Structure 1
Amino acid sequence: MQVREVVASTNWTDVFATNAGAIYQCDAENCWYIDFAGKVARFDYRCLMKLRKAVNNIDIEGLLLDNTKSPDLEIIFICACDDTYVLTLTEIIKFKELLQGTFVMLDLNHIIYNRLYRVAV
């Protein structure tokens, strides 16, 4: 069963998607679902922020230029979160794109909401 089929039968809202994955928001459960690297993982907002920080802190250029280490895999583990990702450098780049796009959409949604519903002072 594809994640898109599950989304259609639940109350998940698409936040952002690429060819590599997607992130959904579930207001009923107050959480986020990330469909990436062959699995769907559930995160609360705090853990999603930690994941974003961990992925953004990976120095891809440094890994590629460091001849003493094999830059094939990176393990992303977030304390207080249930999921761990073991990703190749290509997957890390795609994951960064997915997370960055998600937070751009969230910022855009916040801006639009504030413009539409701001109270006259």
Structure 2
Amino acid sequence: MELLFASKYYTSYQSAKDRCYYIDFGHKTVKVSFCQLLSLRYKAKQLSTPEHIEYMLDHHDVTLLTFCDKEHLILLDTLQVLDFTELIQGTFAMMELRSVLTA
């Protein structure tokens, strides 16, 4: 596995052998396909909107992230949501950079 991006709390890896990606949440490592990674990018954009962050801060400070057909559930606080968003953005940036460098 090759390291793609590391944020404060999370790390993403790419496995050329398995043709998949791994996200390490610290307590759990999750294997995802590219389609699932795209879905996570969409969810990260939704979670990091100013309205959602404000709602989290005003009400309960946690959100539940479900992915991989609800096979995995991750509970995130506000800082972790922002860090997760950074991880997803960094992961896609590194994937794009690698594709440019290998072309």
TM-score calculated relative to the size of structure 1: 0.73
Residue matched to 1:76: 65
Q: Unaligned regions of 5+ residues in structure 2, if any?
A: none
Counterpart-to-counterpart distance in 2, 1:71 and 1:57 = 17
Name the SS of the counterpart of 1:52 in structure 2. helix
Residue matched to 1:9: none
Name the SS of the counterpart of 2:91 in structure 1. helix
Instruction: Give the ranges of 4+ consecutive aligned residues of structure 1 lying more than 4 Å apart after TM superposition.
Output: none
Residue matched to 1:8: none
Q: Does 1:21 align with 2:22?
A: no
Determine if contact 1:64/1:71 at 8 Å carries over to the other structure: no
Counterpart-to-counterpart distance in 1, 2:86 and 2:71 = 22
TM-score calculated relative to the size of structure 2: 0.84
Q: Unaligned regions of 5+ residues in structure 1, if any?
A: 1-11, 115-121
Counterpart-to-counterpart distance in 1, 2:15 and 2:96 = 17
Q: Does 1:56 align with 2:57?
A: no
Q: Which structure has the greater CA radius of gyration?
A: 1
Name the SS of the counterpart of 2:79 in structure 1. helix
Query: How many Å apart are 1:81 and its aligned residue?
Result: 5.3
Quote the RMSD (CA, aligned, Å): 2.0
User: Structure 1 residue aligned with 2:89, among 79, 100, 116?
Assistant: 100
Counterpart-to-counterpart distance in 2, 1:64 and 1:16 = 23
Determine if contact 2:65/2:73 at 8 Å carries over to the other structure: yes
Counterpart-to-counterpart distance in 1, 2:26 and 2:61 = 15
Determine if contact 1:23/1:35 at 8 Å carries over to the other structure: yes
Q: Percent identity?
A: 25
Name the SS of the counterpart of 2:71 in structure 1. coil
Counterpart-to-counterpart distance in 2, 1:77 and 1:106 = 23
Which structure is higher in RCO with an 8 Å CA cutoff and minimum separation 6?
2
Name the SS of the counterpart of 2:8 in structure 1. coil
